[in-house]
Amino acid sequence: MSAPVIPGFAFVEHLGSGGFADVFLYEQQWPRQRVAVKVVRPDVPLTDREKYLFTAEANAMARLADHPYIVSVITAGVTAEGGRPFLVMRYCPPPDLGVRVRSHPMAPVDAVSTGIKLASAIETAHRSGILHRDIKPSNVLVTSYHEPALTDFGIAGHMADVEGDNDVRISYPWSPPELLDGRSNGSVASDVYSLGATIWHLLVGRSPFSIPSGDNSTRALSARILHAAPPATQRPDVPPALDRLLQQCLAKRPEHRPSSALELARALQRIESAAGWSRTAVAVEGDRPDASVAAPEVAEAPEDATAMKPVTVISASGPRRIAAQDPTPASTEDDDETSRVSGLVWAGVGALVLALLVGFLVFRGDGRGEDPGVVVPTESLVPSSVLPDELTAAPTLTGRRTPRGVVFEWNPPVPVEPGDSFSYHRDDTDDYGTTTKQQLLVRTDRPVCLDLRMRRGSDNSPSASECVS
């Protein structure tokens, strides 16, 4: 595939492909930095719908560009040859959180902290009137400072408009029942569900309703999402309060979930406090801390108050109305003066944090596809008509030592189709990679282990492992 010529940017390598776009790594000439460029593929007809989705993604991410846990757009444009729309994004090396937790799920303390940061990003999006509708582990990237960053707003929607959508696209299997059966086109409650499912996944290494060595076809998963009780993580080191909170997020009825991403973040902070873990700040514009969460005894402004420009809270659209709550209650003149002083202090702190993060917002640089999820119209996601999932078995993996090194070879569980790939992880070096071949040469004279999965779109087979001494 050919990378487009973009003035001021030098092509480096192809990073991956998604539903309708390719992703390339470029070197920006000035200021010099590596960036990820998402370009509509030349074989994709540029219908009004595709143009709208691409423009909406650019606008949504640009509106949220200042948030420390959201990937930002640097610029956008159209290629001179072929008129292909493109987005220039901040780039960070691989892998995303979905890849990281496959074989090494997160410790509860890290999963809770990550959940608070992502809830901050989602709350900020909601206050700007934007529903993400595609929250999942593979859409959480990681900066060079090991901070999560939410990406892929390609199917985001504006709260005021989602009710009228005729062609709703959602990502599966982290979407809630009301999106699968068409009762909703997206809401604050649906994003809260997907965030809860994502945190659950970070703790276990798989989506909540998948069953190890069980029937994880799309049809079976869909039936469990719609009808089965929310599962517990079954990890002994997970606090019972965290299991209960995540089960609440996965409730079948939207009104039984936390009413906002901020409410979920506060509940996670209370779990941190009860467990004696370090406190994670909530990064939401104009937010004030929850009085029920213990805070350090300092004379300065609250630890998690980020003083930026005020925002207007917009209520959600969906099967129910989510009452918008003003995060800043009415205050006295003395409170206003204190807020102005602390605002100046924390505005400076916020500017410093953003300056440190400016070069490290991330995009898909792990050599994998763009992974937008199995994106299909909402009305087709009822259990009787969902797309079949064939990747229920692991590849057959073997390894042998040769004079050149260790050669790993494998046979896929299903016939290879165009666009399929294999993702691998070397335990000895912690390297991740993706290939379309069915053989890998590892040049080493030391013992080496390889984990391998087959990828088709957003689906992954179970992993196969092989070690050669």
**Can you say which residues are annotated as belonging to the binding site?**
38
Distance CA(371)–CA(353), nearest Å, equals 29
Alpha helices, H only, 228-332: 240-249, 261-275
Distance CA(85)–CA(213), nearest Å, equals 42
Class of residue 109 by CB neighbours under 10 A (exposed 0-12, middle 13-18, buried 19+): middle
**Residue 164 has what DSSP assignment?**
G
User: What are residue 170's phi and psi, to 5 degrees?
Assistant: -135, 165
- The answer to whether residues 363 and 91 touch, using CB atoms and an 8 Å cutoff, is yes
- The answer to whether residues 111 and 195 touch, using CB atoms and an 8 Å cutoff, is no
Q: Is 63 known to be catalytic?
A: no
Residue 155 burial (CB count, 10 A): 21
User: What are residue 178's phi and psi, to 5 degrees?
Assistant: -70, -20
Amino acid at 353: V
Among 84, 102, 127, 133, the active-site one is 133
HEC readout, 391-456: CCCCCEEEEEEECCEEEEEEECCCCCCCCCEEEEEECCCCEEEEECCCEEEECCCCCEEEEEEEEE
Distance CA(97)–CA(137), nearest Å, equals 5
- The answer to whether residues 370 and 16 touch, using CB atoms and an 8 Å cutoff, is yes
- The answer to whether residues 232 and 243 touch, using CB atoms and an 8 Å cutoff, is yes
Amino acid at 46: L
Binding residues for ATP: 38
Cα distances (angstroms) measured from residue 419 to each of 118, 264, 389: 30, 38, 16
Which residues are catalytic, by number? 133
